Amino acid sequence: MDFDAVCARDLMTRKVVLAEPHESLRVAVTRMSEHRIHGLLVKPESPCRGLSILTGKDCIRVICDAGVAALDDLCVEDAMTRPAVTVPAELCIADCLRLMRMAGVRTAPVLEHGELVGVLTFTDVLNALRSTPGA
């Protein structure tokens, strides 16, 4: 696979699962588990703010710092990462991976003309490599 010829739009997951800022972390963790994903996107409450993301890593940090009971006491906005690192749909995978690695993230919302169109994860890239002969 030519990482300079394939772009985020080609490998991203189009199904985006969202969380609401004021729902409990337990509800969000349950949704991640049900969908077998590692992160939920949170749309901004105002147009001048960027997307946020709640990842399994964010939830584990809460559990380590405050205990499992905090999943019921805290809401998504208390633990989410904001703003999320996003990638343009037309950005080549090579640059997406570099950006994500430098930012320390494994999941990045994909934007086209400022609109959310999908999510790119390291798993998406690895799955594409697995299904590419000779890659």
69 inside domain: yes
List the domain range (segments joined by +) for residue 19: 8-130
Number of domains in the chain: 1
102 inside domain: yes
Residue 133: what pLDDT? 65
Residue 131: what pLDDT? 74
**Is the backbone of residue 101 left (phi > 0), alpha (psi -120 to 50) or beta?**
alpha
Neighbours of 50 (CB within 10 A): 14
Residue 5 DSSP symbol: T
Residue 15: what pLDDT? 93
3 inside domain: no
Q: Can you give the CATH number for the domain in which 108 is found?
A: 3.10.580.10
pLDDT tens-digit series, residues 47-63: 888 899 999 999 999 99
Handedness of CA 21, 24, 30, 33 (dihedral sign): positive
Residue 134: what pLDDT? 59
pLDDT tens-digit series, residues 2-48: 878 899 999 999 999 999 999 999 999 999 999 999 999 998 888 88
21 burial level (CB within 10 Å; 0-12, 13-18, 19+): middle
